[in-house]
Amino acid sequence: MIDFKDQVAIVSGAGRGLGRLYALELARRGAAVVVNDLGGSMHGDGADASVADAVVDEIERAGGVAVASHDSVDSPEGGEAIVNTAIERFGRLDAVVSNAGIFNSVPFDELSQDDWRRMLSVHLDGGFYLSQPAYRAMKKAGYGRFVFISSSGGMFGQPLEAHYAAAKAGLVGLANVIAIEGAEHGISANTVLPFGFSRMVTETVGDPKALEETGFLKLIQPELVVPMVVYLASRACEFSHQNYSACAGRFARVFVGLGAGWLAEAGTTPTADDVAAHLSDVSATEPFTVPGSIFEEVFAVCDRLGVNVFS
């Protein structure tokens, strides 16, 4: 059994919904958990300390160990305070589940600058503000696990959610770089694209009573997302730089692939007309590779052109 004995985990946005379930399961498996939640509304309004406190109480009543953090991830000070809570209370930090977020639906042409910035400040900025001090602590210890909660809305698109999609896709980029830089320090970073019933789903897909009648809500029980997150946060996970979807008990890798494409002859200057003439090759998805970094893509092209960049 995967366990977290003598490990410490932070879960942001852990007061409700999926975040609460992540915290409960990590604690059940032995982790000391920092339950972070400002306690605001789904739209990011207000604050309520009792939200995080209730989850801590739930963990402790079940025999687990936890401490509440009421700081917001949307500032450097907040992120630092959350990490300090883990270090000062438990003396270490092994895993971070970056889950905190807000949600609202706005047509793209009506999206205000305030809506845009507010969404990014919690999801994307918050992911950075929490992960940077956590990364520094993990680097000193020579071990760490990051699980960033992204979204299929960001990877594949979701109507009325330009701000949310951009923020969630941005977390994939953040995780990619942490994975590359953290590799030599025993730090992994992966993302999960979850789909489970929550306040967010209610707003997105309509009347929950009608959905319940179809059996849809039973299929997307939030508990079905938890295994993927917990595995990626554990020592059992020995890989990094990956994305996984978790939906209705189906767990699958999500990746950005690169087609072989059309390569203009060395020494020529291709034109837009050439692109049009070779569009079928340019747009083909088979065969494909999944570059581990921007360098792998560039070096592969150089290799096809017969250029040795290391000579």
Active site positions, annotated: 164
Q: CB-hemisphere CA count at 13 Å for 147?
A: 30
- What sections of the chain are H helices per DSSP? 17-28, 49-61, 76-90, 113-141, 152-155, 162-182, 199-205, 208-214, 216-219, 226-232, 272-277, 279-283, 294-304
d(CA 145, CA 128): 15
d(CA 9, CA 20): 13
The residues facing 97 across adjacent strands are 11, 147
Angle of helix 113-141 relative to helix 76-90, nearest 10 degrees, comes to 30
- Go through 16-51 and write b for each residue having 16 or more CB atoms within 10 A of its CB, e for each that does not: bbbbbbbbbbbbbbbbbbbbbbbbbebebeeeeeeb
Angle of helix 49-61 relative to helix 17-28, nearest 10 degrees, comes to 30
Cβ neighbours of residue 157 closer than 8 Å, sequence gap 6 or more: 165
